Amino acid sequence: MAVPCVRVPTDRGEETRQALAARDLLDRRYEITAADESLYMPVTDPDAVPAEYEVVDRDVPARETQTTPADILGFSPSYERLGDIVILDEDDSSRARTVADAVVASDLRATTVVNRASKVSGELRVREWEVLIGESTETVHREYGHEFALDIAAVYFSPRLATERHRVIEQVEAGERALDMFAGVGPFAVPMAARGAEVVACDLNPVAVDYLRENARRNGVDDRVTAVEGDVRDLTDDYAGWADRLVMNLPHTAGEFLDTAVELAGEECVLHYYDIQHEDDPFGPGARAIREAAEPAYEVAVETERVVRSYAPHEHNVCLDVRLTER
């Protein structure tokens, strides 16, 4: 089938392909073809092609496979997708630029490419980013059928935790009272409400709470989510003895909030406690801390011990599901 193509000499192929991809002009439904020392690059909008390029109609085959950054680079870079943002984890900034260009030239359809520029840090657990392609660090990410608007420069969000969040969310039953103590933009709170729970979700970060409210609306559960901005320790005034379920996803310092968790727990309450510990004893310190905070008022039963992911050499991010039953 004849489609509009940019024709360039073969030796200008890569530079031209990147220039067209950066303008989102490559028509990825068709193959780039070579003939007579020229390359023919199918374009989506011939009128938008810069005047320096020649546009011709040419018969080119439809594409059967997707081009990945690895196809272009010859090695497999590590990257994650968050909505239309592609996140790189490169130490070397010139290599990061090369990978970002390959992402744009590939079929990933990213509008923004960023590289990690710091660790997650501070009370709000936010990271700095080097923006390599595009401008906006705001996106809408889809996870297990729900949409989450967020700005990666202003809030915490990790797509790597999707499976773990889903594992917890599947335990939620309609009508229960679930309290997410460190809720971020709502990736636990919104799906828990969608399962019929009455949810209270708290976060210290005002931007995260704004997104949490927006995300509750976007997913049609704002009638079942109460979003609270502030320190979760202040929730005990209104919600002491309230929760059937508590989510504590603040791995480095959750232990400091166990007294608050016990105050918020109802007569019977399941606690999802996230921790980071050495591989030699990943669950012991968390279980001991929970017992110390909850006993003797509550009977403490550790129901699940789960390694969520490797965090650093010899260190694991773990979750304990713990049932607290008032004596």
- The residues binding ligand SAM (CB under 6 A) are 123-125, 156-157, 161, 182-184, 187-188, 202-205, 208, 231-232, 249-250
Least separation, in Å, of the C-beta of 148 and ligand SAM?
9
Least separation, in Å, of the C-beta of 320 and ligand SAM?
16
Whether 141 and 112 have beta carbons less than 8 Å apart is answered as no
Least separation, in Å, of the C-beta of 90 and ligand SAM?
23
Tokens encoding 324 = 């607290």
Query: Is residue 327 helix, strand or coil?
Result: coil
In the complex with ligand SAM, the residue whose CB is nearer, 58 or 125, is: 125
Least separation, in Å, of the C-beta of 287 and ligand SAM?
21
How wide is the angle at C-alpha 156 spanned by C-alphas 153 and 157, nearest 5°?
105
Closest Cα partner for 147 from 57, 234, 230, 219? 219
Count of other CB atoms within 10 angstroms of residue 211: 25
In the complex with ligand SAM, the residue whose CB is nearer, 21 or 250, is: 250
Q: In the 3-class helix/strand/coil scheme, how is 15-65 assigned residue by residue?
A: HHHHHHHHCCCECCCECCEEECCEEEEEECCHHHCCCCCEEEEEECCECCC
Tokens encoding 11 = 């030796």
In the complex with ligand SAM, the residue whose CB is nearer, 103 or 200, is: 200
Least separation, in Å, of the C-beta of 245 and ligand SAM?
14
| 9 upstream amide cis, omega within 30 of 0 | no
In the complex with ligand SAM, the residue whose CB is nearer, 154 or 287, is: 154
Tokens encoding 18 = 């990147």
The residue at minimum Cβ distance from ligand SAM is: 184
In the complex with ligand SAM, the residue whose CB is nearer, 105 or 161, is: 161
Distances (CA, A) of 6 to 16, 37, 125, 172: 9, 14, 46, 55
In the complex with ligand SAM, the residue whose CB is nearer, 101 or 180, is: 180
DSSP 318: E
In the complex with ligand SAM, the residue whose CB is nearer, 25 or 192, is: 192
In the complex with ligand SAM, the residue whose CB is nearer, 211 or 298, is: 211
Least separation, in Å, of the C-beta of 263 and ligand SAM?
14
Least separation, in Å, of the C-beta of 247 and ligand SAM?
7
Distances (CA, A) of 202 to 10, 110, 183, 188, 206: 57, 31, 6, 11, 10
Closest Cα partner for 305 from 223, 297, 285, 313? 285
Least separation, in Å, of the C-beta of 180 and ligand SAM?
6
